[in-house]
Every structure is written in C-alpha cells, then in structure tokens.
Amino acid sequence: MSIAETFKDFLENIRITNTEQISNRYGEITSCLNKTFRDTDSSSSNNLQVGSYGRKTAIRGISDLDMIYIMPSTRWEEYNVEGGQSNLLRDAKEAIKARYPRTDIFVDSPVVRVLYTNFHVEVQPAFEQPDGSFKYPDTRNGGSWKITKPREEISAIIELDDEKNLNLRRLCKMVRAWKNKHGVAMGGLLIDTLAYNFLKSTEEYDTKSYLYYDWMSRDFFQFLANQPEQERYAALGSGQHVKVKEAFQKSAEKAHELCLKAIEASGKDNENARWQKVYGSSFPAPAKQIAKATAHVFRDTEEFIEDRFPVDIRYKLKIDCEVTQDGFQPGKLRKMLSKHFKLSPRKKLKFEIIDNQVPDGAQLYWKVLNRGVEAEQRDCIRGQIVNDKGYGNISEGTTFTGDHVVECYAVKNGVVVAKDRIHVPIE
C-alpha cells in the first residue's frame, strides 16, 4: 500500500461518525431556544455551528461542541441592563431545561453547557451585529458584552483550504490525532490557526496531496517546534486572541524526530508502525502486524483507552515516578531519563501525578505495559486499564528487562480529556 493510500485511510479512520446524533442535539437545543425567544419550534433557524465542528476540522471523539444561538434584536434592550448578561444566560438555560429536565444543564459564563453522554454542547446566546460579528454575555467582573467573530474564522479556513488543494482541513485533523495520542493540551482554534499559518507561509503543498503528507507532517512539526514561546496567537480570519494552554514546542520537536524516522522507514515493514508513533492507533497498522496478531506465543492482554472512551485532549496532566531501593537515595525517573539512565532490577517505583489541570470530578485510570523479550517469554505483558484507587498514584517494581510504559488518563463526562505516559527502561 502506498503512503498516499495509508494517509487517506488514516483520515477516513478519524472521520466523525456520529454526525447525525450531533445534528439532532444541535436541533433539539435550537428548537428549545426558538420556542422561548421567538415562539417557534424551528430546529434549524437562528443557530450557527461554530468551533472545530463548525470549521469542519474536528475528528472522531470530539467532545466539545459549540453553537451560537442568534437572539432576536428586539430583545436587546431587555438584556442590555445591569445584570442582563446573567439574566440572558439564565433564561437560555431554563429554556433548555424546561424541555429536557433530566439532562445536566448549567451556566458556565459565557456559555450554557448541555451535557450529553460522551460530548457536551456549549451554547452561547448572542446578538448579531451589522458586520456579522456577535455580542455575547460575559458575567465576570460585574458583567459586560464581548465580541466574537466565528464567521470570519470559518471563511478564512474555507478560502485557504481551497487555495491549498484541500490540505488545510486535513492537516488540522491529523494534528488533532497527534495531540490526542501524545496528550498535548492544545485548543482546536489554536491548532487551526497554526496549521493555517504554516500553509500560508509556504507554497510547497499548494498542488500536492496525500502522497506528500509524510513530508507535510515533517515540515509542519518543524514549523511548530520553531515557534517562539508566547501566551497567545491571533486567530485565523478574526485576529482575536487565542490562548496557549501550555508550551507545545518540545512535543512538536519530538514529533518531528518521529516523522524523520518514519520517512526513513519508507517502503519497509515498520513504516506504518513508525507513523503510528506519531499519530496513534488510527493510523493503519502494518499488514504484517495484523497477520501476526493470530500467532502470538503470549497472551496479548494490552487494552487501549480509545476502545473504551472517546479521546479529546484539552487539559494538561503530568506524571513522574519516584525510584527507591534499600541503601540508595530516592530519585525521580524523568530526571534519570534526561540523563539517559536505565533502571536496574529490584527497585521500587511509585508513579504519581505531579500536575493535574483537569477540572474536579474526573476519574483517573492507569495502564502498565511490559514490553520486550522477557515480558513475552514470561507471558506478562499486562497492559490492562485499571481504575485509580483514589490516591493519584500506583506502585510497581523493576522485575525484568525491557522498555516498559506507564500511562495515566483523566476521564470526565465519559471522555478522555487528559493523558500522559512515561517510559520505564530496565536493563
């Protein structure tokens, strides 16, 4: 199979498959709001699908959907008063709640959040302005009206996607698969803005397509790694501020190195496996790897979090490991790895979360995967996903050699919203 075919299959694998369900939810919410504010039950009028889904850059597993409900201009004076911002968000919430009383709905300024299984919709009631922008209510600091320009962002991505042979939206989707694979906390608008800036800066891919997506991946991650560290970017089209949640340059540098190795493996048996290290299990597996699955001499007990929950990384989660052994000073594994140390047997390992920016209420899970000849010979690769017991840590030991892996996941409202992994090399 050619590289063009594998990238085409990859993009098919990350395509959103529940579009009908999403459209139905959008329609239900719109109908509720139209009934309250316009005395009509239309499920399609007066709404605008925005965010990644509206820009058509979202992928399978998207959990954060956005919509603007366009308020009738006749209601402006009613809400343009002291406390009016809170009143508008409250009235929008009550309109939806009245029709769906068992659905979890709450105000989280400047939106109303409607929680469904595996995804939620952020509803932003807003007043359209003559230039096509929207005034929306913000209840912070006593209340104010702020401006958003989603139509300009949507127009910008459509125009450049056409100019770049439909490569922009595809690149945006591939980058989302990468950030989900590696637990990089990047918002969708930031991803789309950086992909837009990259393709705007080069003519290299103006006429190219899937056959060159290996090179485009390489060049994009190099572009990303070379970005100066800054707190915000100007969004594509609108120029509005897009916040950088955490620095992404080191992760992008690692991705660039992985792309180089994957390109070096072109035409070899491990080519697809190399690209899976960049983009995750949605990238097509090598044919020989698929055939090998029925010939294991050990039990393949590894589980994958994406088989249990949708993955949509939005928050930072960082784990480390305290390494101890009788008669020796304790040490941190990440510091050891930075010095290229490997562990020896008979050490005690305590994996723990050292940075967790996920909102309260998330469930934590752990995965310990043993790799290498010795783990296979002992029929002990493990890899099962287990619940955290409420302490935010797990304890292990260095039993046998291999380059093992420990991962931690944070699941909120049925979606993996943060993850991290650490390698455990034992010799």
- C-alpha closest to that of 371 among 363, 357, 381: 381
Q: How many Å apart are CA 251 and CA 194, to the nearest integer?
A: 15
Strand pairing class (144-148; 232-234)? unpaired
* Contacts of 231 by beta carbon, 8 Å cutoff, 6+ apart: 243, 244
Among positive and negative, which fits the CA dihedral 278, 199, 260, 321? negative
Using alpha carbons only, what angle is made at residue 285 by residues 374 and 17, rounded to the nearest 5 degrees? 130
CA distance 272 to 282: 11
pLDDT recorded at residue 291: 44
The amino acid at 419: K
Question: What distance in Å separates the CA atoms of residue 327 and residue 199, rounded to the nearest whole number?
Answer: 56
Which DSSP string do the residues of 389-415 spell out, in sequence order? -SSSEEEEE--S-EEEEEEEEEEETTE
Q: What are phi and psi of 257, to 5 degrees?
A: -65, -40
pLDDT digits (tens, 9 = 90+) for 318-342: 999 999 977 677 889 999 888 888 8
In single-letter form, the type of residue at position 139 comes to T
> For 408-427, how does the pLDDT look when each residue is reduced to its tens digit (9 = 90+)?
999 998 999 999 999 999 88
Q: Contact, 406 vs 421, CB < 8 A?
A: yes
Q: Six-digit token pair at 302? A: 């590894």
What pLDDT shows up at residue 327? 65
* CA contacts within 13 A on the Cβ side of 297: 6
For residue 303, the one-letter residue type is: E
In tens digits, the chain (427 residues) has pLDDT values of 799 999 999 999 999 999 999 999 999 999 999 999 999 999 999 999 999 999 999 999 998 999 999 999 999 999 999 999 999 999 999 999 998 899 999 999 899 999 988 789 999 999 999 999 999 999 988 899 999 999 999 999 999 999 999 999 999 999 999 999 999 999 999 999 999 999 999 999 999 999 999 999 999 999 999 999 999 999 999 999 999 999 999 999 999 999 999 999 999 999 999 999 999 999 998 865 544 444 447 788 889 999 999 999 999 999 999 999 776 778 899 998 888 888 887 889 999 999 999 999 999 999 999 888 877 888 888 989 999 999 899 998 887 788 899 999 999 989 999 999 999 998 8
Select from 424, 423, 421 the least CA-distant residue to 410.
Answer: 421
Alpha-carbon gap, residue 409 to 418, rounded angstroms: 6
Place of tokens 């840590």: 393
Which pair of tokens denotes residue 26? 């959008």
d(CA 86, CA 66): 19
**CA nearest to 386, candidates 324, 327, 328, 301:** 301
Handedness of CA 197, 201, 204, 206 (dihedral sign): positive
Tracing tokens 């934590």 back to the chain, one arrives at 364
- Calpha distance 67→190 (Å, rounded): 18
Q: Which amino acid is at 268?
A: K
> Could you give the C-alpha distances from 379 to 297, 311, 397, in angstroms and in order?
8, 29, 17
Please give the CATH number for the structural domain made up of 296-426: 2.60.40.10
Q: How far is residue 313's CA from residue 323's CA, in Å, rounded to a whole number? A: 28
Buried-state track 317-346, b at ≥16 Cβ within 10 A, e below 16: bbbbbebebeeeeebebeeebeeeeebeee
What CATH number should be reported for the domain whose range is 19-139? 3.30.460.90
Q: Domain residues of the chain, as ranges?
A: 19-139, 160-259, 296-426
Give me the amino acid identity at 23: S
Measured between alpha carbons, how far is 231 from 243 in angstroms, rounded to an integer? 6
